[in-house]
């Protein structure tokens, strides 16, 4: 077992005899932001940073889930699971509730969780938490869940216990990713294709703004509702329209007068982003990274100006990157209002860019920027103990 910093729970940690260890990764998304819950296309993959779970079964009904990262313990009866006041606990309890909703029986267990994913950085530590727990319990209690069940359990836990009406992208990427590849996921059919993540001399660099504006959760659900309202209006006349995926720009424009201006603007972003993802995928397959990068910049522009989920810190970094020919594309990543930008940058220019961006960012916001590479990696998996 790794050395875990434990303050109040050192006895628990010292007596822990894990029989199962799981790595559950964070994810990046190259392009296709805020389109998953609109049944569009996304291009995510897991990265080589994880939450690590260790499990042991216990006698009886009491479960102890210890977060080594926060030195805090959640204790509950497996047969009396209900929502908590604490957000992180709801990720755990929500997953168990969803497993039980599927008629599966989970017994008593203990778990230690160590996170190596910076929270609030847009690399989806929440999906990693949900999916790693579901994956581990599936193994520990031989529940017979498929990988797609685990994905859906994670997503539904977030809807029900956490209260974010998220799409399926994060959980899908966390569980289904394949080393060295990105996933082109069709969020309508829930079918995917693996595409080799071959960027030649370019690297995927994440720059963490280290801000997480608390607008994120409420604004997220508002965006989901705004898109839903557009679908409802158009579907009233077109019964083949079930989501924005079924709406062309032309059809949307014919409803411009009937829609709230903001809702129209949101929907036009979503439809355009879907078109960008398709162009980006074609470009990636053709090894045309210049076009791919242009799509990334287009995505950021839409997220900043039409979908309005960016923030000054992210916009600053994306604008800063435009002075560098060695950067083909840059955009905010994930839900927005903070977190990381994702950058496609030539390997020879990385040090110079990171140094200059960090200095300029510190001068402007008085915040330290952190940067790291994202290596396309395997999804949630068992680790040999
Ligand atoms: C969050 C959600 C995802 C997705 C992204 C934005 O990460 O969990 O489902 O909607 O935001 O693309």
Rounded (5°) CA angle 355-208-377: 105
| Residue 2 confidence (pLDDT) | 44
Mutation to probe ligand 1, out of 334, 336, 339, 342 (largest number of atoms < 8 A from CB): 334
At 357, list the tokens: 């961006």
| Residue 6 confidence (pLDDT) | 57
> How far is ligand 1, taken at its centre, from the CA of residue 37, in Å?
8
Rounded (5°) CA angle 265-297-250: 35
| Rounded-to-10 torsion of CA 172, 318, 221, 241 | -70
Which residues of the chain fall short of a pLDDT of 70?
A: 1-7, 215-216
Order of strands, edge to edge, in the sheet holding 109-115? 72-77, 62-67, 109-115, 44-57, 20-29, 381-383
Q: Is 335 in the pocket of ligand 1 (CB under 6 A)?
A: yes
**Considering only CA atoms, which of 318, 258, 356, 331 is closest in space to residue 33?**
331
| Residue 217 confidence (pLDDT) | 76
What are the backbone dihedrals phi and psi of residue 17, each rounded to the nearest 5 degrees, phi first?
A: -125, 85
What is the full DSSP assignment across 252-281?
HHTTGGGS-HHHHHHHHHHHHHHHHHHHHH
CA distance 84 to 97: 12
| Residue 166 confidence (pLDDT) | 96
- Residue 297 CA to chain centroid, in angstroms? 20
The interaxial angle of helices 147-157 and 169-176, nearest 10 deg, is: 150
| Residue 1 confidence (pLDDT) | 39
| Residue 214 confidence (pLDDT) | 73
| Rounded-to-10 torsion of CA 298, 214, 83, 169 | 10
What are the backbone dihedrals phi and psi of residue 305, each rounded to the nearest 5 degrees, phi first?
A: -100, -30
Reduced 3-state DSSP string for 305-359: HCCCCCCHHHHHHHHHHCCCCCEEEEEECCCCCEEEEEEEEEHHHHHHHHHHHHH
Protein residue with least CA distance to atom 1, ligand 1: 335
> How far is ligand 1, taken at its centre, from the CA of residue 333, in Å?
9
Q: Is 124 in the pocket of ligand 1 (CB under 6 A)?
A: yes
Protein residue with least CA distance to atom 9, ligand 1: 167
| Residue 375 confidence (pLDDT) | 95
CA distance 276 to 343: 16
- pTM, whole model, 2 decimals? 0.96
Cross-strand bridge partners of residue 42? 185
- Residue 34 CA to chain centroid, in angstroms? 11
Beta-carbon contacts of 144 under 8 Å, excluding residues fewer than 6 positions away, are: 104, 138
Q: Which atom of ligand 1 is nearest to the CA of 164?
A: 8
Q: Is 170 in the pocket of ligand 1 (CB under 6 A)?
A: yes
Please tell me the total number of residues recorded for the chain in this structure: 385
Of the residues 170, 179, 186, 368, only one is catalytic, namely 170
DSSP H or E run through 296: helix 289-305
Based on the residue annotation, tell me whether 348 is a catalytic residue of this protein: no
What is the full DSSP assignment across 230-242?
HHHHHHTT-TT-S
| Rounded-to-10 torsion of CA 23, 29, 34, 39 | -80
> How far is ligand 1, taken at its centre, from the CA of residue 167, in Å?
6
Q: Which atom of ligand 1 is nearest to the CA of 167?
A: 9
Q: Contact 38/168 with Cβ under 8 angstroms?
A: no
């Amino acid at each position: 077992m790794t050395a875990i910093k434990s303050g109040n729970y050192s006895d628990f940690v010292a007596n822990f005899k894990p029989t199962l260890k799981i790595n559950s990764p964070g994810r990046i998304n190259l392009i296709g932001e805020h389109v998953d819950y609109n049944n569009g296309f996304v291009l995510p993959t897991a990265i080589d940073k994880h939450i690590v779970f260790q499990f042991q079964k216990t006698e009886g009904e009491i479960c102890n889930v210890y977060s080594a990262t926060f030195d805090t313990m959640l204790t509950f009866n497996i047969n009396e699971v209900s929502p908590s006041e604490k957000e992180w606990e709801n990720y755990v309890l929500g997953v168990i509730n969803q497993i039980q909703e599927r008629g599966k029986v989970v017994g008593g267990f203990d778990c230690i969780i160590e996170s190596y994913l910076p929270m609030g950085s847009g690399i989806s530590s929440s999906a990693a938490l949900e999916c790693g727990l579901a994956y581990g319990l599936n193994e520990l209690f031989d529940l017979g869940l498929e990988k797609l069940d685990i994905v859906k359990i994670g997503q539904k836990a977030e809807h029900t216990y956490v209260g974010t009406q998220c799409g399926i992208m994060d959980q899908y990427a966390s569980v289904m990713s394949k080393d060295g590849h990105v996933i082109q996921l069709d969020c309508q059919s829930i079918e995917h294709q693996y595409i080799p993540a071959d960027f030649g001399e370019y690297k995927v660099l994440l720059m963490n703004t280290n801000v997480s504006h608390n607008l994120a959760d409420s604004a997220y659900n508002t965006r989901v509702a705004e898109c839903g309202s557009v679908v409802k209006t158009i579907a009233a006349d077109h019964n083949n329209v079930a989501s924005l995926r079924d709406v062309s720009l032309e059809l949307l424009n014919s409803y411009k007068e009937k829609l709230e201006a903001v809702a129209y603007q949101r929907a036009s972003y979503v439809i355009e982003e879907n078109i960008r993802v398709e162009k980006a995928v074609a470009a990636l397959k053709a090894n045309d990274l210049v076009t791919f990068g242009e799509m990334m910049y287009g995505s950021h522009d839409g997220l900043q100006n039409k979908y309005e989920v960016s923030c000054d810190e992210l916009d600053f970094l994306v604008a800063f990157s435009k002075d560098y020919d060695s950067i083909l594309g840059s955009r905010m990543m994930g839900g927005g209002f903070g977190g990381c930008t994702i950058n496609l940058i030539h390997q020879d220019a990385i040090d110079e860019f990171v140094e200059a961006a960090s200095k300029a960012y510190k001068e402007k916001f008085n915040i330290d920027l952190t940067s790291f590479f994202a290596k396309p990696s395997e999804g949630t998996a068992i680790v040999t103990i």
